[in-house]
Amino acid sequence: MMDLYHKLLILGGISFLIFGISWICFARISMSYIEREMKKEGKEPPQWDGMGARAVSYAMVIALPAGVLKNYILVDAEAAKRLSRPLDRKLAVWYLIAGFVGTVIILVASYVKPDDLIL
């Protein structure tokens, strides 16, 4: 019989798989669309992308209520919010929630890890 720790590890693995899929979907669909539209307006998208931080930045700007990240310097928050479509908002929320849930599950699993288990 499987204990709580191993159930959480499996659930965490599934959550991170969903997170990876949501990351790819958001980056390929929403981020590329927004940056293409920004170029049409003569605005250059950020050239940096430290370990996927650009995708997280766009997702936070799009998913959070207007004005929360008004002075955000990593991406053009105003343009990203204005140019985002309803699909982009859904993908951003899916991406952020999937990452948060996966992280919480893995942290809880590390807390309930049996003492006699060596990893």
Query: SS in 3 state form for the chain?
Result: CCCHHHHHHHHHHHHHHHHHHHHHHHHHHHHHHHHHHHHHCCCCCCCCCHHHHHHHHHHHHHHCCCCCCCCCCCCCHHHHHHHCCHHHHHHHHHHHHHHHHHHHHHHHHHHCCCCCCCC
Q: pLDDT class for 117, splitting at 50, 70, 90?
A: low
Instruction: Please compute the mean of the pLDDT values over residues 74-91 and round it to a whole number.
Output: 90
Q: pLDDT class for 76, splitting at 50, 70, 90?
A: confident
